[in-house]
Structure 1
């Protein structure tokens, strides 16, 4: 945790309210997000129990699995889940914009102009916490390879048609959620933690209702603040011993499982068994009565699960309201464009009939994903610092940046080449204490690119740092107008680069050494007995 974050948490303990860690919103929020709140059966991490979802806060839709261990009921639930979610995912696929670019021709090696489609918008799923992300990833992993009745060899237990497609989309958004700065799938507790600090631990912040308690009561009135309010929403129970503010899933409260859920499931199982017995016996009247009992048991179970999910549903929308009150950061739209490209690419792969994502990435794909996430992590940290003075303050406190007022601008030139090049000196008065030794490279955001400089010296007594500007002034003998700050103007220099460096190129899968999963079996270079080799050792 940074020093600024620690100070904000201490201040939250003192004030009893959440303290801001940002002045702008650092993630994109869709005008029509799909809120998804999943529940899993206790002791069965991959067994879905229910899901509440929707784009209208006044009209949530709930789908349940009456018996999570029943394969048929689970597939029926996933089909209903997909029937609700997939139209939303597809609703952004038709509205596109055309982006002109170029690519290198495979035969001639020359660059040729191309026009690519980019979806004008993309879907956005909002879940309560990181546990919900992991649960959706498990559902995607377990369903994207399922065979359906339309397959040539459907197998003994074919799944409904929507199920494997649902799995592919869930796998895509949960995988994209691992990319720093992505907004296709947002866990709300992590998003709130980026923008506000509370006086409790990071683990306690995973309880959505407890975190929101640090922002005041849901109706906006004053009440017990901070730790007292958080403790209340975590522990308060009704006359039946049920939590008034249940956890936001996918786990359920043990008391709820024992007192309400287990009896409701047992009642439904018994009613279903009685209906099957009556149908097998050929008693039409008894079968009709038994079906009515099954329907009543299913409605009771639906109500039991609805009462535990509705408070979470309200909390998620309340959290979104808090985030919408913040203005978006300047670079949020740029990162959202990356999400739109990701969505467009997956849309095209699905439409082209490509196979689902593999169970395990090959070495090159895994390395590329890791390199991309490392680059995006650097990019997000830099962009957030440029967008938000509070984010930049963390770097200033760490000595990685300094801000101050330009007190002098001294024109100087480099005459070592054919023509003189401007190399002016900026004298910046600052109260910061950067790790700016002479010769250290510094950077300043200036227009679409960064302006580079070199520290010439620092005067601790005067509180000044002298920087020689070496780029970003144009190609003429004199600096272009506006390329240099005026005396009296406030500037910010960082000791880190403002653009992430590209990673080294990786080999193609067929050129990957066998020690890293290649080449493919039977391909050139296969080593006997090695992964992908052509034969086993004797």
Structure 2
């Protein structure tokens, strides 16, 4: 936790309300996101129980498994979930833009022109918390390898046709959620925690209702007291007034409400199957009533969290978008387009475990994207830059003096020296490279000297190729400037070998990858 975040949490404790950590929204928000609030059955990891899903705030659809231990009912639930998710996910694949580029010809080694498709938009899935993301990842892993009736060997329990496809999409989306800055899957608790600080711990922030209580405390209550009531207040029957969607449910709800409702539904279903023809209509009515009671119980648990997710979106939409959002969303669009193309090409599902090269590439990508995100957030948001200034990694101030100097040599180049008055205390030793933020083109400089209250730097680039600097490339006296001690573009990592060229120390020898990959897919 940074110093600024700690100060913001302390201020939230003092004020009794959430305090801002950002002045702009650092994640892309779709105009029509798909909101999904899942519930998992207790006692089995990843066992689905119910979900509230939809793109309209006032018209969610409830999906449920009346008996989570029943394989047939579980597949029916997954088929219904696929029917909700897949049309939305696939609807973004039609609209594309054509981008011209070039790639290396494997035969001649030269560059050949290519035209690539990039989807103009991508889907966005919004869930309550990181637990929901983990639940969806488990669903993806458990369904993407399922055989269906269309397979040559469907097995004893074939899954509905579209269920494995949904599993592949869920796996892709949840893996993409691990890429820093990605906005294809957004856990609302983490999204709010990035933009506001509450006076409670990060673990307590995983309860979405408690987190929002710091934003909307009732009159006369502090955020801490409001959050405590959200977490603990129960009705006369002992049920939470604001149940969490963890996606685990409250144990008292499981014991006093859910288990009896499931038992009644099971009994009604068994009675219908064994009822004589004369009593079939009555048995059907009893089964319908039992299912309705189960739906009412689950909807009472899910609806508060559903409303909380939309309240969180309202809070975030009130913030202006960050300047670099479009760049990061383009990366999500490329990711979506690539997965769409892999499905269209008939490639097999993602393996259970990545080979060494794929794992290294994913790790390198996430490290690179994290560095890129940190830089872009600092450039987009004064509060994010303030964290670097407090850490001595940047300084901001007003130009007090500009001295025109030139480099030595046959063709002297401009090397103006700026004296910047600043209240910051950067780790700026003489000779240290610094980089001017918000400069076009990018400007590099070096520290000439520093003293309490001022730093002297010499500009080294970004002033054109003439003897005189380009107009506007050198700050004038009185201009406010920001310099960072870190580069403003992430460095590219070294290229990794292809899987067939990977040494035996990392999964080789060549030829072993085909066998290993086949085992993983089977």
Which interval holds the TM-score relative to the shorter structure? over 0.9
After superposition, the Cα gap between the structure-2 partners of 1:99 and 1:522, relative to the gap in structure 1 and judged at 3 Å, is: closer
Is it true that 1:427 corresponds to 2:419 in the alignment? yes
Is it true that 1:332 corresponds to 2:325 in the alignment? yes
Match in the other structure for 1:480: 470
Would you say the 8 A contact 2:502–2:510 is kept in 1?
Answer: no
Would you say the 8 A contact 1:406–1:490 is kept in 2?
Answer: yes
After superposition, the Cα gap between the structure-2 partners of 1:288 and 1:251, relative to the gap in structure 1 and judged at 3 Å, is: same
After superposition, the Cα gap between the structure-2 partners of 1:171 and 1:276, relative to the gap in structure 1 and judged at 3 Å, is: same
Distance 1:263 1:523 in 2: 51
Distance 1:179 1:523 in 2: 26
Match in the other structure for 2:209: 209
Would you say the 8 A contact 1:453–1:471 is kept in 2?
Answer: yes
1:72-471 equivalent positions in 2, closer than 5 A? 72-217=72-217, 222-278=219-275, 283-416=276-409, 418-447=410-439, 449-460=441-452, 463-471=453-461
Distance 1:121 1:374 in 2: 25
SS of 2:93's partner is coil
After superposition, the Cα gap between the structure-2 partners of 1:338 and 1:223, relative to the gap in structure 1 and judged at 3 Å, is: farther
Distance 1:97 1:150 in 2: 34
Would you say the 8 A contact 1:407–1:429 is kept in 2?
Answer: yes
After superposition, the Cα gap between the structure-2 partners of 1:89 and 1:408, relative to the gap in structure 1 and judged at 3 Å, is: same
After superposition, the Cα gap between the structure-2 partners of 1:109 and 1:243, relative to the gap in structure 1 and judged at 3 Å, is: same
1:32-111 equivalent positions in 2, closer than 5 A? 32-111=32-111
Would you say the 8 A contact 1:247–1:253 is kept in 2?
Answer: yes
User: 1:295, CA displacement in angstroms?
Assistant: 2.0
After superposition, the Cα gap between the structure-2 partners of 1:115 and 1:300, relative to the gap in structure 1 and judged at 3 Å, is: same
SS of 1:368's partner is helix
Distance 2:159 2:468 in 1: 71
Instruction: Give CA-to-partner distance per residue, 1:326-371, whole Å, 9 cap, x none.
Output: 0011011110111011111111111111111111100000000000
After superposition, the Cα gap between the structure-2 partners of 1:493 and 1:523, relative to the gap in structure 1 and judged at 3 Å, is: closer
Q: How many pairs were matched up? A: 517
User: 1:446, CA displacement in angstroms?
Assistant: 4.2
User: 1:289, CA displacement in angstroms?
Assistant: 2.8
Query: Once superposed, what is the RMSD of the aligned Cα atoms?
Result: 1.6
Instruction: Give CA-to-partner distance per residue, 1:440-492, whole Å, 9 cap, x none.
Output: 110113445521111011122xx211111111112222211111111110000
Instruction: Give CA-to-partner distance per residue, 1:184-229, whole Å, 9 cap, x none.
Output: 0000000000000000111111000000000115xxx634121110
Pick which of 292-301 and 32-41 moved more.
292-301
Distance 2:349 2:486 in 1: 40
TM-score by length of structure 2 reads: 0.97
Q: Identify unmatched segments of 5+ residues in structure 2.
A: 518-522
Is it true that 1:516 corresponds to 2:506 in the alignment? yes
TM-score by length of structure 1 reads: 0.94
Q: Identify unmatched segments of 5+ residues in structure 1.
A: 533-538
After superposition, the Cα gap between the structure-2 partners of 1:522 and 1:315, relative to the gap in structure 1 and judged at 3 Å, is: closer
Would you say the 8 A contact 1:509–1:519 is kept in 2?
Answer: no
User: 1:521, CA displacement in angstroms?
Assistant: 4.5
Instruction: Give CA-to-partner distance per residue, 1:102-151, whole Å, 9 cap, x none.
Output: 21122122212222111111100000000000000000000001111111
Would you say the 8 A contact 1:37–1:249 is kept in 2?
Answer: no
SS of 1:337's partner is helix
User: 1:89, CA displacement in angstroms?
Assistant: 0.5
Would you say the 8 A contact 1:402–1:494 is kept in 2?
Answer: yes
Distance 1:406 1:248 in 2: 53
User: 1:292, CA displacement in angstroms?
Assistant: 2.6
Distance 2:424 2:512 in 1: 62
After superposition, the Cα gap between the structure-2 partners of 1:523 and 1:29, relative to the gap in structure 1 and judged at 3 Å, is: closer
User: 1:514, CA displacement in angstroms?
Assistant: 1.8
Is it true that 1:502 corresponds to 2:492 in the alignment? yes
User: 1:515, CA displacement in angstroms?
Assistant: 2.2
Instruction: Give CA-to-partner distance per residue, 1:382-406, whole Å, 9 cap, x none.
Output: 1000000000000000000000001
Would you say the 8 A contact 1:37–1:132 is kept in 2?
Answer: yes
User: 1:260, CA displacement in angstroms?
Assistant: 0.5
Distance 1:132 1:234 in 2: 18
